[in-house]
């Protein structure tokens, strides 16, 4: 059972009595230590049902069970190896009657069920200026952050009303949401000491995985259970504590050391994932954090390539460099699955997506959506489409109530009937539509706003149009309430860069340029993607914690991007540095760190400063290849222009109004106009509506008349 463990792993497994804290560096085999320890305790004659092991994901819990079964051949189905929330749910099924009015058959709400209840409460209270999902998030934060405060007084007032009604509704209907599971378990223990003592006696050995990610409630729960026997084993890595925004408290490590002064501290410093050159870089960056338990990662795998640093001329040059390296390694035989492009902010993905698409390299956004699939981007594009194509009913329906304008479904149904009567689109029918009430007034105001925006298209720089749309539609004001981290706003500002590129590369006035852009974007939906094919991973650092890749690219390493411009103090900066450490330690064999001297931000070319983290990595463990690489590829990279489909002149004569076509995505359609440029407009059945298409594009074919 204990074969192959190094000395420190062996000590962590066999030190079964008393509190033990294991600080396990990246790739040091912590999962193996956890499972071997459970198996060892059972092998010493302890009942499996006296052991409690908690972790954060069902995947991790199931893996622990599988490994324990393989080691000691016991049935783990009924053992207490689970997530925190599953443990609490199981316990409450037996004990919750001690917390009236709840009964044992309580219903656990999933996220969507919880959201439906909040939506109904908002409807009953006539609250529509703040989205129910936003209020749901605030309720969850208030439960997980005991000291959470809302600074906006208006938002605070609405939240308090909704939260009160929500809590009462759940109690009256014997319901608990996900967050309640922990809260009610702690309430139960505090209210009934007999129940607490029973479970303290039951669980003589307690193990906690990913201890650095525990929040205040989770720590309190574990502390209460372990207070009798003190056989508490926690394993984690203070170097990888990066989830403070979810409530994780790195301070729990110090709390443990204070609450259990007699604890054993064991450091796992031998890495089984990365080469020594990569670990040298990781050690170098993390040593700049003063508030941590000192450990130095090492590996017996002394060989390996020194991590490379590339400072690109521009954001596009950086993306081209990364794609070029992926192509190079792929030609040598590496799978696309071997590569990860990591960034601090989601909006950074866009330029890399562009280049990967251009060179037909499959990719996937890990744990998120591709840039043009994100809600806020689709909303902005819908606004632009209605301005250019007022006959686009689908886009109109997307934005007419986004942000909320009290334009109800009944009113829109009446508008639809009117549009059918006058034989025009929903948007175009508004001027002749008659009605009354707040919704009707809001609809007319929406039309006035959109007409004002249309009139400004050719009178302002194209890149400025996004700012005007954000302000005049109220979308920016909505984001101010719903997006305190500014992530969605940053994505929209990245869209300004797309408009800037269009402005520089497409001829004609701004309307012509917008038509070209919108058509290009519609064609992106035709891209065939399969989930199971080999693909390069694009991800934020938070999403890939726990994963590993043969080759990692850490991109956009610029001050204000990484570390984020939103860090407010030294503690925030330390967490940013830990995020950097996590990124480095995802790499097994090859690591590239890059930044750009200039980057398009918010539609403007900005001169960028390299991240302080690049400087902290130093030149000893990071080889600068900027000069050599740029010298060889200057012309290739600086000449990049987004390519347009090459069309032949003979396409001009192929299409006439009334022609039928069949599109791979949109189905059957009829040509309603043929432009003198390279576009035709085709009417499809709802909800698609009228779409501009490039003449002769392979995504559709003309149905010849018989």
Catalytic residues: 30-31, 209-210, 240, 586
Contacts 24+ apart (CB under 8 A), 499-505: 499/462, 499/463, 499/465, 499/466, 499/603, 500/462, 500/463, 500/600, 500/603, 500/604, 501/600, 501/642, 502/462, 503/461, 503/462, 503/463, 505/641, 505/642
Closest CA relative to residue 312, chosen from 681, 592, 26, 668: 592
In whole angstroms, what is the distance from residue 500 CA to residue 468 CA? 15
Q: How many other C-beta atoms can be found within 10 angstroms of the C-beta atom of residue 657? A: 11
In whole angstroms, what is the distance from residue 329 CA to residue 323 CA? 10
Q: Rg for the chain (alpha carbons), in Å?
A: 29
In whole angstroms, what is the distance from residue 323 CA to residue 325 CA? 5
Burial of 680 (0-12, 13-18, 19+ CB in 10 A): buried
In whole angstroms, what is the distance from residue 40 CA to residue 206 CA? 14
Burial of 393 (0-12, 13-18, 19+ CB in 10 A): buried
Using CA atoms, how far residue 25 sits from 66, 240, 274, 401, 507, in Å, is 23, 8, 12, 49, 55
In whole angstroms, what is the distance from residue 353 CA to residue 362 CA? 10
556: left (phi over 0), alpha (psi -120 to 50) or beta: left
Let me know the angle formed at the C-alpha of 262 by 24 and 39, rounded to the nearest 5 degrees.
Answer: 50
């Amino acid at each position: 059972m204990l074969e192959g463990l190094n000395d420190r792993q062996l000590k962590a497994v066999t030190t079964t009595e008393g509190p033990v804290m294991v600080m396990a560096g990246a790739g040091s085999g912590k999962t193996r230590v956890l499972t071997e320890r459970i198996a060892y305790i059972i092998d010493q004659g302890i009942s499996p049902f006296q052991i409690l092991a908690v972790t954060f994901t069902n995947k991790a819990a199931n893996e622990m069970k599988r490994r324990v079964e393989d080691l000691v051949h016991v049935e783990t189905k009924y053992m207490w190896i689970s997530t925190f929330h599953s443990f609490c749910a199981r316990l409450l099924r037996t004990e919750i009657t001690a917390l009236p009015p709840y009964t044992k058959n309580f219903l656990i709400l999933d996220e969507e069920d919880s959201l439906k209840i909040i939506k109904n409460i908002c409807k009953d209270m006539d609250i529509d200026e703040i989205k129910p999902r936003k209020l749901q998030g605030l309720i969850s934060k208030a439960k997980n952050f005991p000291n959470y405060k809302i600074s906006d007084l208006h938002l605070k007032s609405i939240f308090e009303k909704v939260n009160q009604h929500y809590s009462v509704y759940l109690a009256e209907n014997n319901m608990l949401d996900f967050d309640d599971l922990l809260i009610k378990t702690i309430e139960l223990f505090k209210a009934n000491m007999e129940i607490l003592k029973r479970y303290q006696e039951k669980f003589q050995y307690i193990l906690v995985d990913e201890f650095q990610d525990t929040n205040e409630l989770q720590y309190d729960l574990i502390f209460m259970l372990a207070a009798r026997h003190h056989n508490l084993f926690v394993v984690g890595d203070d170097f990888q504590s990066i989830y403070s925004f979810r409530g994780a408290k790195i301070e729990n490590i110090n709390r443990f050391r204070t609450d259990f002064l007699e604890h054993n501290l064991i450091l796992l410093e031998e890495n089984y994932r990365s080469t020594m050159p990569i670990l040298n870089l990781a050690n170098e960056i993390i040593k700049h954090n003063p508030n941590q338990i000192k450990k130095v990662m090492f590996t017996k795998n002394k060989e390996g390539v020194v991590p490379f640093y590339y400072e690109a001329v521009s954001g596009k040059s950086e993306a081209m460099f990364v794609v070029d390296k992926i192509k190079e390694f792929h030609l040598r035989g590496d799978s696309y699955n071997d590569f990860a492009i990591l960034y601090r902010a989601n909006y950074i993905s866009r330029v890399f997506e562009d280049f990967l698409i251009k060179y037909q390299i499959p990719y996937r956004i890990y744990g998120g959506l591709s840039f043009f699939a994100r809600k806020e981007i689709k909303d902005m594009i819908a606004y632009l489409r209605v301005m250019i194509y007022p006959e686009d009913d689908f886009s109109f329906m997307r934005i007419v109530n986004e942000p909320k304008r009290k334009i109800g479904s009944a009113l829109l149904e009446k508008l639809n009937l009117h549009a059918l009567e006058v034989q025009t689109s929903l948007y175009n029918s508004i001027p002749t539509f008659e009605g009354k009430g707040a919704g009707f007034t809001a609809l007319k105001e929406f039309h006035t706003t959109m007409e004002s925006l249309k009139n400004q298209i050719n009178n302002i720089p194209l890149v400025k149009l996004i700012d005007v749309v954000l302000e005049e539609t109220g979308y920016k004001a909505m984001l101010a309430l719903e997006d305190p981290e500014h992530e969605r706003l940053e994505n929209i500002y990245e869209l300004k860069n797309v408009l800037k590129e269009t402005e520089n590369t497409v001829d004609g006035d701004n309307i012509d340029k917008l038509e070209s852009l919108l058509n290009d974007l519609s064609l992106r939906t035709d891209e065939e993607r399969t989930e199971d094919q080999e693909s390069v991973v694009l991800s934020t650092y938070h999403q890939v914690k726990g994963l590993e890749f043969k080759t990692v690219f850490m991109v956009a390493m610029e001050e204000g991007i990484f570390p984020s411009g939103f860090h407010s103090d030294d503690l925030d900066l330390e967490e940013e540095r830990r995020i950097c450490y996590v990124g480095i330690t995802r790499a097994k064999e090859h690591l590239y760190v890059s930044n750009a001297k200039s980057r398009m931000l918010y539609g403007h070319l900005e001169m960028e400063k390299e991240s302080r983290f690049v400087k902290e990595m130093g030149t000893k463990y990071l080889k600068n290849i900027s000069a050599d690489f740029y010298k060889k590829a200057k012309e290739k990279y600086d000449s990049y222009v987004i390519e347009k489909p090459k069309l032949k002149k003979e396409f001009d004569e192929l299409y006439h109004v009334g022609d039928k076509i069949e599109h791979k995505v949109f189905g059957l359609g009829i040509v309603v106009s043929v432009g003198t440029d390279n576009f035709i407009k085709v009417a499809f059945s709802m909800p698609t509506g009228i779409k501009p298409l490039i003449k002769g594009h392979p995504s559709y074919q003309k149905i010849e008349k018989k």
